[in-house]
Structure 1
Amino acid sequence: MSASTARRKWRIPGAAAFWRLPPVLFLRGFLKAPAMVGSIVPSSQRLIARVLAPVDWARVRLFVEYGPGVGTFTRPILDRLPADAVLIAIDPNPDFIDYLKREIADPRLCLVRGSAADVEQIIADLGHDAADYIVSGLPFSTLPEGVAARIAAATAAVLRPGGAFLVYQFSAKSLRWLAPAFPRIDRSVELWNVPPGFCFFGWKD
């Protein structure tokens, strides 16, 4: 192998490309707004599988994701989503929205910069009346006062009967904001994650 070939093979990404790498972008998002990002590292495949396990994919027409970040859950959701369904991903961080627009070319994905607390208005503006499932890793315990309760209430209002709010957290305290909006909540824990993830599935009966 020539020296020039070796240099090409081991070339270090330029500054602009480096800052767009998913782990770096995820860390930047955490440092910029730690209250809005639940963990300093993306979720494990085991946690993703556990969170999405309750979904009846055949009945899904509208799936909503709060805080997609660098697409750790977005891609697995799209892998499972029916061809005629839609995924609306809502994130307040423009860096994450811009990254996902560049990296995921899927007509079923609709990216919205905004707050999960405004989910009712967001899906109405996009021509939908209700969601089948909503997934969230937003850290309820560190959100500004009152925001977690608003998100839980808005989510319960916008779900179809039989739908569920799929929540993964890194603190069991988050249940206190979910319980008032969801009388029936299934719970589990995924230990193969850093940190271990608490899963809460709030059902709209």
Structure 2
Amino acid sequence: MTSSSLTKTTMLDRIKNRTNRFFGPWGIFFKGFIKHPVMVGSIIPSSSLTVKKMLAPVDWDHTKLFVEYGPGIGTFCQPVLDRIRPDATLLVIDLNEDFIAYLRHTIRDSRFIAVHGSAADVNEIIQSFGFAHADYIFSGLPFSTLPNNLGPVIAAETAKAIRPGGAFLVYQFRARARDFMAPHFAKIDKGFELWNILPCHLFWGWKE
């Protein structure tokens, strides 16, 4: 490689590093949305009010495994880690390698596991880490736009993965997400959060 090529490569690396430092997690999130728009529910992370309201019904004292689909840059990760027991685990699953790499680099907690994979494989994933089931599974995945009929598959696999008494927590911009949950959860509580970009529907499907 010539000296001019090396100089050009070095300059590009510096620009990339400066851009990443300037935009921080928002830049990572935006990049993830551009690369996989049908897999990322929003171009902007959820509001703190959405986080608080979604997690409010969780029985943290009896939670040993909390699973999240599509964690993005970890908007919900730290709030969950702040609430779970010292011996509990937060396991997140995402198909976006950039998000997983970012989370592994930024979250230093022995209770945290980040997996590059599909939510459709949730049962195999949690079993590979020695768990028989999850207590709660949370998702912000855009069910209505997921490719290859993934929405119904993920909903069915999630219902199998959750213990009796646990719940599937879902927030979406379209109320249609409830249609994917209804065949598997007899009781579905619902809510709405206006102070979010965009305003979103909230669902809690309880496994009897």
What is the TM-score with the length of structure 1 in the denominator? 0.92
Map of 1:148-187 to 2, 5 A cutoff?
A: 148-187=151-190
CA distance in 2, matches of 1:37, 1:203: 24
Q: Name the counterpart of 1:102.
A: 105
CA distance in 1, matches of 2:19, 2:56: 34
CA distance in 1, matches of 2:187, 2:205: 6
1:31 matches 2:40: no
Unpaired runs of at least 5, structure 2: 1-13
- Matched letter for residue 110 of structure 2: P
- Matched letter for residue 121 of structure 1: E
Report deviation, 1:168: 0.5
Alignment root-mean-square deviation, CA: 1.1
Identity of aligned residues (%): 54
CA distance in 2, matches of 1:17, 1:169: 33
CA distance in 1, matches of 2:148, 2:93: 20
CA distance in 2, matches of 1:65, 1:27: 20
Report deviation, 1:14: 5.0
- Matched residue count: 193
1:72 partner SS = coil
List 4+ stretches of structure 1 deviating above 3 A. Answer: none
Q: Name the counterpart of 1:18.
A: 19
CA distance in 1, matches of 2:149, 2:166: 24
Q: Name the counterpart of 1:113.
A: 116
1:82 matches 2:100: no
2:98 partner SS = helix
Q: Name the counterpart of 2:71.
A: 68
1:96 partner SS = helix
- Matched letter for residue 87 of structure 1: L
Report deviation, 1:16: 1.5
